[in-house]
C-alpha cells in the first residue's frame, strides 16, 4: 500500500490546511494567488499583434499569432479599433471623417459586444 502524503488526514481536512497556509503566505506578501494564472485570451493576443503591426490584415494576424481563422475574425475589428485608439488615431466610418461619428461607432460596438442592449 502506498502511504499518503497527508499525514493520515482526510483529503478535505488536508486541503483546508493547505488553503489556509496559502492564504496566510499571500496575505504576508500582499498578493493574490490568482494573479497571472490562466491561459492568455485570444482577444489579447490579437490586440497585441495589432498594436505591433497596425497595418496587418486578417491573414497576417492569423499567420502571426497562430490562432484559428474564426477566432481572429471574431476579435479583429475590436482589436483594430483598440490599436487605433492607443495610437490616438480617429476611427473612420465608411468614408466619413467627423469625430462625432467615430465616437458613436465606438459606443455601438461596445454595446453590441456586451450584449446588454440592442442597437441604438
pLDDT digits (tens, 9 = 90+) for 13-42: 999 999 999 999 999 999 988 887 788 889
For residue 80, what is the DSSP state?
H
Per-residue model confidence (pLDDT) at position 89: 58
Kindly tell me the sign of the dihedral angle through the C-alpha atoms of 79, 85, 86, 88: positive
Please tell me whether the overall predicted TM-score, pTM, comes out greater than 0.95 for this model: no
- For residues 73 and 70, give the distance between their C-alpha atoms in angstroms, rounded to a whole number: 5
What is the tally of structural domains in the chain?
1
Q: Is residue 10 part of a domain?
A: no
Q: Is residue 90 part of a domain?
A: yes
Per-residue model confidence (pLDDT) at position 104: 44
Q: Burial of 56 by CB count in 10 Å (0-12 exposed, 13-18 middle, 19+ buried)? A: buried
- For residues 87 and 78, give the distance between their C-alpha atoms in angstroms, rounded to a whole number: 14
Range of the domain at 63: 42-114
Amino acid at each position: 500500500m502506498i502511504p499518503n502524503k497527508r499525514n493520515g488526514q482526510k483529503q478535505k481536512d488536508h486541503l483546508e490546511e493547505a488553503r489556509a497556509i496559502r492564504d496566510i503566505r499571500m496575505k504576508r506578501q500582499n498578493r493574490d494567488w490568482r494573479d497571472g494564472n490562466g491561459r492568455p485570451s485570444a482577444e489579447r493576443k490579437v490586440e497585441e499583434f495589432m498594436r505591433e503591426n497596425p497595418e496587418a490584415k486578417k491573414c497576417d494576424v492569423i499567420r502571426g499569432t497562430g490562432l484559428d481563422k474564426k477566432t481572429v475574425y471574431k476579435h479583429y475589428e475590436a482589436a483594430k479599433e483598440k490599436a487605433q485608439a492607443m495610437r490616438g488615431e480617429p476611427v473612420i466610418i465608411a468614408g466619413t471623417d467627423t469625430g462625432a461619428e467615430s465616437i458613436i461607432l465606438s459606443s455601438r460596438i461596445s454595446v453590441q459586444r456586451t450584449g446588454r442592449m440592442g442597437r441604438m
